[in-house]
Structure 1
Amino acid sequence: MSFQAIAGQDRVKRILQNSLRTDKVSHAYIFTGPSGTGRRGMAKAFAQAIYCKVLPDDACGECLDCRKVEHGNHPDLHWITPDGASIKIEQIRELQKQFAYRASASGIKMYVLEDADKMTVQAANSLLKFLEEPTSQVVAVLITDNGQALLPTIRSRSQWIPFTPMGRDAMAAELLKEGHSPVLVQMAVRLTAGIDAARDLIQGNGFAELRNLVIQLTKESLSRLPSALLTAQQKLAKGEFSEQLPAFLDMLILWLKDMVQLGIGNRESLIYSDQSDWMTQQAYLYPIQHWIACLEQAIETQKRLRFHANPQLALENILMRLKGV
C-alpha cells in the first residue's frame, strides 16, 4: 500500500515522506485521531516505505520487503493488538525479547501498537523504558483514539501525528467513485469520522436493512401506529436488530433532522433524499415544533439507553411521539 492509496490526511503523508527523504525518521510516533481516519493503513504504508528497496519515500508494492509487510510476515515488523481488553506487560516483554535479536538486512526494527491507550499501567511503564533505551535502531508507531490518555512521559518522547476527519463532501465523492449506493453514502459519511469507517459501515451486515427499517417504522408510525409498535418489538426490542438499537437511533435522528429541514422548506442536502416526496407531505401535516420535539426526544432517548433504560419502552415512546400521541 502506497501513501497515495490512502484518501485524505495529506499533512500526515507530507510529514512521514519528508522524514524518509531526509533520513530523519523519528524513533516513535503517536498516530492519534478518530477511528476510521486511516491511522492503521497509514502505519502499514509507513512500514512498507521504510522497508521498500525501490522508492526512497514511498512503497513500490512490488519488491520482496513490500510484499512481506503487506502479507504480515516481515521479520522486523511487529504488530501488537490488545489481548482481550488491554495490552498487557507480557506482550511488551515479548516485544522487547524479539527486539534483542539483530534486524535483518534493513537494520531497522519496527513495531505498531494498536489501541495503545489500552495498555495496562505496567505495560505502559515497561514500554516507556523501551522508548528511552532501545537496544537497536527502532521505529515505534502507537495508534490511539485518544493520545492524551497515554502517559505524559510517553507523549514527550514521541512525535505527535494528528489524524483529522475527512470532509463529508470529499468522503462522499471518493465512496461514490468506488461505486457505493448514493443513499447509503449520504448516511455513512454523517455517522463516521473517516472514509475507512464509512466504507466499513456501508459494507457491513445490516446497514441498508437498518436504514430501510427506519423508513418502515416512521411510515407505519404516521399511518398505522399499532403496526409500528409491533414491528419495533419484533425487530428492534427483541429481534434481529436488537444489538443495533444505538445505530437505529443514529439513523432516526438523521431522518428527524431531514423532517425539520423540510418543515422550514429546505429540500437541499437531504440524507433520505430518495424519500423526499413522501417526507415533504408528512412534514407539512405537523407544525415545525412537532419535529423539533421529536428530534429532542430521540437524542434524549439515546442518552437514556446508555444508562440502561428499557429499550422497548423507549422505542414505543418515540414512535408515539412521531404520531403526536
Structure 2
Amino acid sequence: MSFQAIVGQERVKRMLQNSIRTDKVSHAYIFTGPSGSGRREMAKAFAMALYCKVLPDDACGECLDCRKVAHGNHPDLHWLKPDGASIKIEQIRELQKQFAYRSTVSGLKMYVLEDADKMTTQAANSLLKFLEEPSSQVVAVLITDNGQALLPTIRSRSQWVPFVPMMRQQMQDLLLKEGHSPVLVQIAVRLAAGPQAARAMIQGNGFAEIRNLVIQLTRESLTRLPVALLTAQQKLSKGELGDRLSLWLDMLILWLKDMVQLGTGRREGIVFSDQTEWMAKEALSRPPQHWIACLDQAIETQKRLRFHANPQLALEHIIMQLKGV
C-alpha cells in the first residue's frame, strides 16, 4: 500500500510525504474525517513509507519492511482497535509495556489507534504519557470520525490531518470503470465518503435488494397501501433484511430528493435514473410540499431510530405519509 495507490486525499499525501522527505515527522497525528474516506489506508501507507528502506518518501512494496507492514507483522508497528465498545486502559498499558523495549529493527516505533474517540477516560489520560513526553523515535496516528471528541490535551499535542469525502464524480468514474452496476454506483457514491467504502457497499450483502425494495415499497405505498404495509412487515420489520432498515431509509431519502426535483420539472442528476418515467408521473400528481414533508419525515425517522424508536411503527408511519394518509 503506497501513497500513490490511494485514490484521492492529495493534500494529506503531500503533507505526509513532505514530512518524511524533510525529516520533520510529527510524534502524533489525528486522522479525522468521515468513515470510508481512506484514513486507515493512509495510516498503513504512512507506516510503510516510514519503514521502507528503498524509497525516500513512499513505500516500494517489495522490501522486507514494506512486506511486514503489509502483512501486519512488523515488530515495531502496533495497531489497536476497540476491545468491544471502547479502547480500554488495559490496552494502553499493554502498549506502554511494548514501548518500554527498544525498537527491534528500524529505530522507530509506531502505533495506530482506530476509533480513537472510543477511548475510555482512563485510557485517554494514560495515552497522554506518550504525547506529553514525545520521542523522535515514536510516531502515533489516531484515527477518528470526530477529532473534536478527543480530549483537548490530546488534540493540542497532535497534528490535525483532516480527511474529506472524495468528489462524487471522481468516485463515480472510478467505480464505473471497474465495471460496477451504474444504478448501484449512483447510490453508493452519495452514501460513502470514498471509493473503498462505496465499493464495499455495492458488493455487500443486500445492497441491490434494498434498492429494489425502496422501489417496490414506494410504488406499493402510492397505489396499494395495505400491500405495502404487509411487504414492509415481511421484509424489513421482521424479515431477512430487518437489520438493513437504516440503509433502506438512506436510499428512501435519496428517492424522495429525486421526487422533489421531478416535482419541479427537473430531471438532471436523478439518482434512481432508471425509474424516472413512473416517478415523474407520480411526482407531478402531488404538490412539491407533499414530497418535502415526506423527506423531512424520513430524516426525522432516521434520527428517532438511533434512539431506539419502534422500527415497525416508524416504518408504517412513513409509508402511510407517502400515500398521504
- Confirm or deny a common fold (TM above 0.5): yes
2: CA distance, partners of 1:283 / 1:203: 31
Superposed, which structure 2 residues align to 1:26-175 within 5 Å?
A: 26-133=26-133, 137-175=137-175
TM-superposed deviation, 1:303: 2.7
Letter of the structure 2 residue corresponding to residue 122 of structure 1: Q
2: CA distance, partners of 1:303 / 1:100: 45
Cα deviation digits, residues 88-109 of structure 1 (max 9, x gap): 1111111111112221231111
SS at match of 1:190: helix
Give RMSD over aligned pairs: 1.5
Q: Is the 8 A contact 1:100 1:135 kept in 2?
A: no
Q: Is the 8 A contact 1:31 1:142 kept in 2?
A: yes
Superposed, which structure 2 residues align to 1:207-286 within 5 Å?
A: 207-286=207-286
Letter of the structure 2 residue corresponding to residue 276 of structure 1: T
1: CA distance, partners of 2:157 / 2:55: 28
Cα deviation digits, residues 210-243 of structure 1 (max 9, x gap): 0000001111122222211110111111111221
1: CA distance, partners of 2:183 / 2:110: 41
2: CA distance, partners of 1:320 / 1:123: 48
Greater shift in the superposed pair: 221-230 or 282-291: 282-291
SS at match of 1:161: strand
Distance 1:158 1:135, change over 3 A: closer
Distance 1:132 1:290, change over 3 A: closer
Letter of the structure 2 residue corresponding to residue 303 of structure 1: K
Q: Which residue of 1 aligns with 2:11?
A: 11
Distance 1:249 1:120, change over 3 A: same
1: CA distance, partners of 2:90 / 2:12: 32
TM-superposed deviation, 1:27: 1.1
Q: Is the 8 A contact 1:33 1:164 kept in 2?
A: yes
TM-superposed deviation, 1:170: 1.6
Letter of the structure 2 residue corresponding to residue 70 of structure 1: A
Q: Is the 8 A contact 2:86 2:120 kept in 1?
A: yes
Cα deviation digits, residues 117-161 of structure 1 (max 9, x gap): 111122112111122235771111111111122222222221111
Q: Which residue of 2 aligns with 1:206?
A: 206
1: CA distance, partners of 2:303 / 2:82: 28
TM-superposed deviation, 1:68: 0.6
Identity between Structure 1 and Structure 2 (%): 81
Q: Which residue of 2 aligns with 1:322?
A: 322
TM score, norm. by length of structure 1: 0.95
Q: Is the 8 A contact 1:99 1:135 kept in 2?
A: no
1: CA distance, partners of 2:314 / 2:70: 47
1: CA distance, partners of 2:105 / 2:297: 62
Superposed, which structure 2 residues align to 1:298-309 within 5 Å?
A: 298-309=298-309
TM-superposed deviation, 1:87: 1.1
Q: Which runs of 5+ in 1 are unaligned?
A: none
Distance 1:314 1:89, change over 3 A: closer
2: CA distance, partners of 1:158 / 1:307: 33
TM-superposed deviation, 1:317: 2.4
Cα deviation digits, residues 51-89 of structure 1 (max 9, x gap): 111100000111111111000001111101111111111
2: CA distance, partners of 1:47 / 1:169: 30
SS at match of 1:312: helix
Q: Is the 8 A contact 1:9 1:164 kept in 2?
A: yes
1: CA distance, partners of 2:135 / 2:258: 58
Q: Is the 8 A contact 2:68 2:74 kept in 1?
A: yes
Distance 1:138 1:6, change over 3 A: same
1: CA distance, partners of 2:309 / 2:111: 43
1: CA distance, partners of 2:99 / 2:281: 66
Distance 1:125 1:309, change over 3 A: closer
2: CA distance, partners of 1:65 / 1:316: 56
Q: Which runs of 5+ in 2 are unaligned?
A: none
TM score, norm. by length of structure 2: 0.95
Q: Is the 8 A contact 2:27 2:136 kept in 1?
A: no
